[in-house]
Amino acid sequence: MPQLRRHVLVAIIGAVLAAALGVGVWLLWPATAAPPAPTNAVVVRKPADPGEQARIAAVAELAERLPAAVARGDTSVWSAATRERFADLSATLPTGSTVTVDRATWRRTGAVASVEVTVAGGDQAPRRYTLVVVHEDGTWRVSGTFRLEQP
């Protein structure tokens, strides 16, 4: 009988220790999954990847304020190479146009990303583009667009 009690005691102590260990691990484990460390390779990141939503939000904000920036003559929204390539950026977007971002199409490789946008307004029917942005000098800037054409 005393031997049985000793076995029960050992089992209880073991269970308590296991529970304590589990609690400790639970307490030490991050509450939410942190972004994995970037790899030294080319990886195409998508909206569901950790950390991308914040980037998408920043680029969406940039895209949506493009018409106003164009109207103001604010060229800081364009990358340095784009500013060099296009002598006159005032006719980029028609006055009164709007830019809507399709966030599900976001793709990023390092400091270069793209997302599909729709430009509406002006005298023309809505047009869809792939907007390419680069992270340059600490902020996202527009590098170029590719029109999604239908022949």
Question: Which residues are near other proteins by CB under 8 A?
Answer: 38-45, 78-82, 84-87, 89, 91-94, 107, 109-114, 119, 129-130, 132, 134-138, 142-147, 149, 151
For 113, the token pair is 């990303």
State the minimum distance, in angstroms, from the CB of residue 29 to other proteins.
25
For 47, the token pair is 């909206």
State the minimum distance, in angstroms, from the CB of residue 22 to other proteins.
34
State the minimum distance, in angstroms, from the CB of residue 79 to other proteins.
7
* Nearest-angstrom CA–CA distance, 15 and 33: 28
Query: In terms of CB distance, is 15 or 113 closer to other proteins?
Result: 113
3-state class of 51 per DSSP?
Answer: coil
Query: In terms of CB distance, is 86 or 103 closer to other proteins?
Result: 86
Query: In terms of CB distance, is 2 or 138 closer to other proteins?
Result: 138
112-135 burial string, b = 16+ CB within 10 Å, else e?
A: ebbbbbebeeeeeeeebbebbbbb
